[in-house]
Amino acid sequence: RGPSGAWPAPDASCSTIDFGHLALRREKAPALRVARMDEEAFKLAGRAVELLDELQGDDEDADDRFDDLKEKRRDTTRFISQGSAAQALQAAMMALEMMFLGSRQVNEQLLPASLREITWLAKDAAALFKDSDNHAGRVAALLALARAHLARAQEPDAPMAALKAGKDAVAASRGLGDASVLAKALCALGDAHLAKATATPFEKVLLEEIRAATNATREAEEVFKSLNDQRGVAQALHGTARALLRHTDEDEVMDGERLADEAREIFHDLGDRASEVHVFLTGIAARQASSGPASALMLAQDAGEDWQAEGNRPKDAGLALLLAAGFQLEVGDLDNALRLCDESSALYDRAGSRRGVATTLEVRSSVMSAKKKTGDALNALEEMAAIFEKLGDGRSQGESLMMAANLLLNELSDEVDSDSQAEFNKKTPQNGIDIEEVQKRSADGLEFAHRASKCFEDAEYEEGTQAVTELVQRIYERAIRIYCKCNEPDQIYYTLDKDTPKEDPTKCIREWKIPMPSMQKTEGLDKGDGFLHVFDPHPPAGH
């Protein structure tokens, strides 16, 4: 309209407009929008399938829950081939949620970059479903998003982000009319409240979040009961147990242990071994925290005996005995710890689980180190690294090699510290290591660190590379502290007290000149005098 309120008179350009074409474009606009949304949905679903293929664990260590995950992945690819964009993306979101819930190995090995991509993928899917008013798809995406946030629960923003996604999922699922989806959302919300409880340093917030978590999981339990879904009931019970086990009240903790036992029995009766083991791990961690390693040891041994007696459960029995070996190590019974390691390794080998065998070698290394048999401990770690190399798991291979570096370098630092202090105090050194041995063992430890760093770089695991750098730096700084502690300073800088002719002891600066042949260079910008100059508390002016 013009200023007078009337429609303007048509000009030359207006007279040439094809109003029929504009009407056609208006009719096509919704179709074009749907086509663009379908294109985006196919893209997100396809990437989700790629991530699932990249992140799936070893087939030899897959449990029964992997079958459901693989079936949902097949559904995704089938819907993609059939041109069903919304169904494909919803199936992909459900598969991602299953991956987080069903694979402890994948969660442990998930790289931050992959986790970030999954998080954004789930966010985009939730927004796409919201725009298209697809409530079931949005709930599936929100559940995948909540699980992705929970997988990074150690990051400061993760618990609150998981809570938001969980609350949105519960709110959206209440209007669906699908009770099973509501119950799943309530379980996710309970886990999000528990993540916040675990992260907070304040007892008041801890108790509030535990209460909120148990309210959600108990509501989920009632919903599952109304559906006669025993597996769901057990999952909800497990969620309530995990929350109560974080409580500060002893009676609540005991109630949590009771609920965990109930959940474990239900899973056992259903034949869901993977979930039974998951609940067992929750219970044994709680037992160790509340009653100590001796009590947890009995629980682990009982489980190992029960699973061996059942037959056809060598991998589960191997896990229980391996945990028992760790508790034996903790209480100082090294011979029994080694025996249980051997039994666990044999069970894992019978089950065809090379990854399980590798985990027994880690405990064996710790036992051998406690027995002061460093060579045997290193052999176990190198064998462990070799297994992971064959499995194509560069991250775990690097972690094995880093354990070897840590063992060698820390043991060497302890011996050098002990001998240096003995010599400084005019006593006989206990270890009697000479400079050549120190140099050789130091070089061996650094070689393990270099190999570990290379594995982490190849696996694109930045945290691992940083951990190696921090280890080497920590050992280097400790060596400097040992030298300075056991040798008098080469030079002392004094500052005179302004009120007296004496020195001010509070402003004294000490300097040590540690021989470093690698720093001997007489030319260039980085020339050096062959010494590392160390000042305490800081270099004097002009240095």
Condensed to tens digits (0 to 9), the pLDDT of residues 233-251 reads 999 999 999 999 999 888 9
Q: Is the pLDDT of residue 57 over 60?
A: no
Average pLDDT of the segment spanning 469-498: 84
**Residue 15, pLDDT score:** 38
Please tell me which residue, 527 or 265, carries the higher pLDDT value.
265
| pLDDT tens digit sequence for 119-146 | 999 999 999 999 888 999 999 999 999 9
Mean pLDDT of 354-372: 95
332-344 pLDDT per residue, tens: 999 999 999 999 9
Angle formed by the axes of helices 273-291 and 230-244, nearest 10°: 20
Pairing of strands 528-536, 491-493: unpaired
Average pLDDT over residues 110-114: 74
Task: Provide the pLDDT confidence category of residue 74 given band limits of 50, 70 and 90.
Answer: confident
Position 53 pLDDT exceeds 90: no
pLDDT at res. 5 = 38
pLDDT reading at 80 higher than 90: no
User: What is residue 482's predicted lDDT score, i.e. its pLDDT?
Assistant: 85
Tens digit of pLDDT for each residue in 349-358?
999 999 999 9
Q: What is the spatial distance between Cα 137 and Cα 514, in angstroms, rounded to a whole number? A: 66
Are 383 and 50 in contact by the 8 Å Cβ rule? The answer is no
User: What confidence tier does 12 reach under pLDDT thresholds 50, 70, 90?
Assistant: very low
- pLDDT, mean of residues 470-496: 85
Residue 53: is it exposed, middle or buried by C-beta count within 10 angstroms (0-12/13-18/19+)?
exposed
pLDDT tier, 277 (very low <50, low <70, confident <90, very high otherwise): very high
Question: 449-479 pLDDT, tens per residue?
Answer: 999 999 999 988 888 999 999 999 999 888 8
Cis peptide before 537 (omega within 30 of 0): yes
Residue 324 pLDDT grade (very low, low, confident, very high; cuts 50, 70, 90): very high
Q: Are 455 and 398 in contact (CB under 8 A)?
A: yes
Contact 515, 530 (CB under 8 A): yes
At 505 the pLDDT is 65
* Angle formed by the axes of helices 435-458 and 394-424, nearest 10°: 160
Q: What rounded mean pLDDT belongs to the chain?
A: 85
For residue range 408-421, list pLDDT tens digits in order: 999 999 888 888 88
Q: Residue ranges of the domains in the chain?
A: 33-152, 180-288, 493-536
Query: Is 107 a residue whose pLDDT tops 60?
Result: no
Q: How many CB atoms lie within 10 A of CB 316?
A: 23
User: What pLDDT, on a 0 to 100 scale, did the predictor assign at position 394?
Assistant: 92
The enclosing H or E element of 272 equals none
